[in-house]
Structure formats: C-alpha cells, structure tokens
Structure 1
Amino acid sequence: MKKTVILISSMTVLLAVILGIALWPKSSDDSSSNGKLTIVASTNVYAELAKTVAGDQANVSAVIEKQSVSPEDYEPTNDVAKKVSQADIAFGNGLGYDAWLNKLAKTSKQTQLVLVSDLLKKDKSANPHLWNDPDNMVNAAQGLADTLSKKDPAHKAEYQQNAKAYKEKLQPVTDKVAELKEKAKGKTAFETESVYEYMLKDIGIQLTGTDFADAIAEDTDPSPAVMKKIQSSIQNHQVDFVLQNTQTTGGDVAKLVKLAKAENIPVVNVTETSPDKTSYVDWKLSELNQIEKALS
C-alpha cells in the first residue's frame, strides 16, 4: 500500500489525541478488571499472534480489524488512544508502518511498547512488510513469549509452550513454502509493489523491476526508463508471473498488469493487509496456491 505524505491536519489530530491522554484519569489497576494482562495490537494479524502466545492470561484486541483501513494512514481516535494508554503492552510492526502506535504508547508510563521489528533486530532500512515471512512471525511469537515471561513469570511455561504452538499453527505455510522452492528454481517474478518480497525470496524466486516496485511503495512515479525496462521484460517473457498488490491502484500499475495479461503471463493477486475474518494461515495459503498455479 502506498506510503502517503503526512498532512499537517493529520498531525494535528494525532497531537490532539496524545494531549488528551494526559487529561484522563489512570485506572488504579494495571491490568483489566479480571486481573489479566491487556495487549493492544496495531492490526488483526498481530492480534492473532498475540492471542495464541498469551493464551488465557491476557485480553488481546486489535485497533485495525478491517482490510479497508490502512495502518500507514490510520488516524487514532480518542477511544483508541485511551485504550493504548491503559494497556500493559502495545504490540505493533514498527519500521514506520504503524508509527501512531509508538506515539500513543510512549505517552503512558504503564504501557510497554513491543515492536516486531525490534524483536527481529531489523535495521531501519528493512522492508516493513515483516509478516510476509512466516519465519518472522514465528520468531516474533517467541520474542513476545519472552517478553510476557518477564512481565508475568508465574505463567512463563504457558507462554513458552504457546509460542511453540504458534509455530506449529503456521506449519502449513512453511510446508507450502518448502514445496514451492523446487518449482521456483530459475523462475523470475515482477511485483507491482515491494510488499511481498520476503515471501518471494523465501520461495527462491528472482525479482525483476524492483526499482518500479520501490517507487510505488514510496508513492512516487517510476521513471520512464524504469517503466520501459519492465515493459520490455514482460513483452519478451522474461517474467514468469506478475504479483499485484490489489490494494494499490494507479495508471502505471494498471498498464503493466494489462500488458502481462495480454502476453498470457499469470497475474497473482495479493493484499497487503489481511482479509476480514481470515486467519493468517488461510490468507497466506490462498496467495501461495496462486503462485503454485502460476509456476505450473
């Protein structure tokens, strides 16, 4: 999904929300009324992970649960700001993808900010779409389990066991990735935006046209030379399939997708954010099955 320039009006909204937190009385109980920890995740994908790891020892909720809402462009409401400020843990992606969560969590003395990018020790220049690598998700689950074990040592064994259960839960995805590695040898793909490169690299697929994909991700126009180069690659069938983020629109993307279809090159449709009420495993398998079909 395209990164957008932060407008002054958006900044004003966020600043007003953060300022308002200071005026709210803090709960006398550091956790929820039932004595459990509270975890607020930025998206439903990370909420699913946190629910598995925390098990019965925490109340977990997601700020963004609908695919139609972009985490990059999201403007938190006062209710969301209050919810984050009163949580024990705010769990997010990092790398600027959900920067609003960072700002809200840091206004509260009781909320611990836990970012997947930090758990994975990712550099600031890393691609922010960390969830498109199942290994990243497994390692993030272990990192969250370690964090919870320190915060709530009485239930350490449960958290550690739940992290192992999450790894087992993702096994169908990791198995499919391993299966596709054999079929992907020597294959090349072009992605319209750099949202899926972790998964493509896991499979062993070579990428072309990365300058175009990076430009779209940064919300800039690809240069004519970049556009011409990828058009040539598609016309000369140097691309085995095109991977399109269907949540990104634009004339240049549409032209290349149309060209690929005209050249009978398979187009794989993926989304940057999870479809509503769809598990991580089902989401990723639906995309990987498309890739398998494109490679056959």
Structure 2
Amino acid sequence: MKKKIILISGMVALLVAILAIALWPKSSDQSAKDGKLTIVASTNVYAELAKTVAGDHAHVSAIITKQSVSPEDYEPTNDVAKKVSKADIAFGNGLGYDAWLNKLAKSSKKTQLLLVSDLLNKDSKSNPHLWNDPANMVNAAQKLANELSKKDPEHKADYQKNAAAYKEKLQPVTDKIAELKAKTADKNVFETESVYEYMLKDLDMKLVGDDFAEAIAEDSDPTPAALKEVQNALTEHKVAFVVQNTQTTGGDVAKLVKLAKQENIPVVNVTETSPDNTSYVDWKLSELNQIEKAIA
C-alpha cells in the first residue's frame, strides 16, 4: 500500500511538472530572450531606416523585401500577422500605402504602431510616397529616435546619435539634389504617375499633366482632356524630361512614353519600391543620375 502511495505521489509530481512546463510563459520573440526591442517595418526602405536608428538595441525586419511585391496590394499571411502581433513596434508609411500593417498592429495589445505620415504630421490628402523626399526620411529617423528613447530611455543617447548618423548617411542624396537644382529649377517635367512628386519638387521643377498622373496613381482612366494636355506638352517640347514609373503599365502610359521617345525627350525610369538588395542612397542616386544625364 505504501509503495502504491509513493508511486501515485510520484506520478502526480511528474504530471504537475509536465503541466508547469506546458503552461510556463514562452518567449514570444527574440526581444523577450535578450531584452532588445523588436521592430517590424512594412518595407525594406523603412527597415533600413529603423536599423540605422535602433542600432544594436533592436531586432529589425521588413515584411516586404522584394521589388516585385506592391505594398498597396499586399495581403499578409498568418505568419506575418503573428510576427507583427509579437513586435514592440510596427513601423510603416501610412496614408493608405500599407494599410494592412495598421490593421495587424491594432489587433495586438503589445504592438505600438508608428507611421511616418503621423510622425511628420501629414494630412490624409498628402502624397503617400513620402520616402522620395530625403528630408522626410531624415525627419522620420529623428522622430523614431525620440519614440525609441521613450520606450528604452537607457539607450537614448545611442538612438539620438544614430539618427544624426542617418542624416549623414543620406547626405550624398541631398548634395546631389542641391547640385541638380541649379539646372532643373523652373523647368517643366511630366511624370506618368504621381510617385516621384516630392523629389521633383525638391528639384524646384514644375509638374505638367497632374490630372493624368493622379488618375494613373488611383488606377483610373485619365480623361481625354488630361491625355491631350500631356500629348501637346510633349509634341511642343514643353517638358525637359519624362519620369516613368516602370512598375506601372498601361496603354495610355505606354503611348505617352513612346511619344516622348519619338520627340527625343529623355525618359527617366524610377520605381515605386526599392530594388532588391539596394540601399536607399544608391536607389535615389541612380534616379538622380538619370536626371543629370537627361538635362545635360
């Protein structure tokens, strides 16, 4: 009888131990293991920014890392939803560009949603392609540093130092813009879609065919009047060059690009998302170098 009691007691102790292990809180992510923050960015562009600012004090990853994937059309998987729900910060663009990140972050009690559009106090009517203005990126880096300093005050000095380093990192782009501005100021330019507007305004250029570009950006058909306006500007050589978003195709766009080439008007090719394995600085400089050749 005594042996049975000892055996039963042993089995109970074993079951309690197994149950305790099963119910023991598991580390939901890497940050729980080493104390570092976890930041999940919507795109590789913002992941690069966050990595620079956070330095060694956070695990940073991007949901979208391929140029072939459109953030506006992206549909997150269950694994992505879990990843965002376990993150300390979800870092995105806002203004509808990566709306799926908003939904995922807001469904988690843990995740803080930081949108560049909010950090920069942009209103709902603002052009969503914020990264095409390096000043926006520099300001976003500083704002992110401020938020990280609140969340992790122990490393505030590092975050502030890293934000300043990010500004220096982007200096080649701002220098190139300043160099080109002397040649591009007040010149007319047409963009097939309103994705490069911030950069063109940084160059002090005047946009032609806004109605056409906005229609393409909104996936709607440009009006005959909007199309005619651009055609006239091209045939009358009223634009210095055309900016084409190569990730957007369509009959009207193709016709205008073809017309520009027929009229010997330079075409500058840009992309809405960063080329694979390409830094922000290299990406923007490659586009600006095309503009430099176009106005030579």
Cα distance in structure 2, aligned partners of 1:125 and 1:286: 29
Q: In the alignment, what sits opposite 1:117?
A: 117
Cα distance in structure 1, aligned partners of 2:25 and 2:91: 20
Q: In the alignment, what sits opposite 1:280?
A: 280
Give runs of aligned pairs for residues 231-242 of structure 1, distance below 5 A. Answer: 231-242=231-242
CA contact (8 A) 2:190 2:239 kept: yes
Cα distance in structure 1, aligned partners of 2:268 and 2:166: 27
Structure of higher RCO (CA pairs closer than 8 Å, 6+ residues apart): 1
Q: In the alignment, what sits opposite 1:51?
A: 51
**Deviation for aligned residue 1:187:** 1.1
Deviates further, 59-68 or 29-38: 29-38
CA-to-partner distance for each residue in 1:98-148, whole Å, 9 max, x for gaps? 000000000111100000000000000000000000000000000000000
Cα distance in structure 1, aligned partners of 2:255 and 2:112: 45
CA contact (8 A) 1:85 1:111 kept: yes
Q: In the alignment, what sits opposite 1:97?
A: 97
Amino acid in structure 2 at the alignment position of 1:250 = G
**Deviation for aligned residue 1:27:** 5.2
Cα distance in structure 2, aligned partners of 1:100 and 1:72: 8
Instruction: Look at both structures and tell me which one has the larger radius of gyration over its CA atoms.
Output: 2
Amino acid in structure 2 at the alignment position of 1:220 = S
Amino acid in structure 2 at the alignment position of 1:200 = L
**Deviation for aligned residue 1:37:** 0.4
**Deviation for aligned residue 1:204:** 0.6
Amino acid in structure 2 at the alignment position of 1:182 = A
* SS of alignment partner, residue 207 of structure 1: strand
Cα distance in structure 2, aligned partners of 1:54 and 1:232: 50
Q: In the alignment, what sits opposite 2:260?
A: 260
CA contact (8 A) 2:27 2:33 kept: no
CA-to-partner distance for each residue in 1:32-82, whole Å, 9 max, x for gaps? 422210000000000000000000000000000000000000000000000
CA-to-partner distance for each residue in 1:226-277, whole Å, 9 max, x for gaps? 1111101100000110000000000000000000000000000000000000
Give runs of aligned pairs for residues 58-97 of structure 1, distance below 5 A. Answer: 58-97=58-97
* SS of alignment partner, residue 242 of structure 2: strand
Cα distance in structure 2, aligned partners of 1:78 and 1:225: 45
**Deviation for aligned residue 1:185:** 2.5
Amino acid in structure 1 at the alignment position of 2:60 = V
- Change over 3 Å in CA distance of 1:27–1:102 after alignment to 2: farther
Amino acid in structure 1 at the alignment position of 2:131 = W
**Deviation for aligned residue 1:186:** 3.0
CA contact (8 A) 1:26 1:86 kept: no
Q: In the alignment, what sits opposite 2:211?
A: 211
Normalised to the residue count of structure 1, the TM-score between the two structures is 0.90
CA contact (8 A) 1:27 1:86 kept: no
Q: In the alignment, what sits opposite 1:153?
A: 153
CA contact (8 A) 2:28 2:86 kept: no
Identity among equivalent positions (%) equals: 78
**Deviation for aligned residue 1:28:** 5.3
Contiguous gaps of at least 5 residues in structure 1: 1-24
Amino acid in structure 2 at the alignment position of 1:253 = V
CA contact (8 A) 2:88 2:111 kept: yes
Cα distance in structure 1, aligned partners of 2:115 and 2:25: 24
Cα distance in structure 1, aligned partners of 2:220 and 2:201: 24
Amino acid in structure 1 at the alignment position of 2:282 = D
Q: In the alignment, what sits opposite 1:165?
A: 165
| Higher helix content, 1 or 2 | 2
Q: In the alignment, what sits opposite 2:190?
A: 190
Cα distance in structure 2, aligned partners of 1:266 and 1:200: 15
**Deviation for aligned residue 1:29:** 6.1
CA contact (8 A) 2:36 2:57 kept: yes
**Deviation for aligned residue 1:26:** 8.2
CA contact (8 A) 1:191 1:213 kept: yes
Cα distance in structure 1, aligned partners of 2:277 and 2:287: 16
Normalised to the residue count of structure 2, the TM-score between the two structures is 0.90
Amino acid in structure 2 at the alignment position of 1:176 = K
Amino acid in structure 2 at the alignment position of 1:153 = P
CA contact (8 A) 1:32 1:38 kept: no
CA contact (8 A) 1:41 1:61 kept: yes
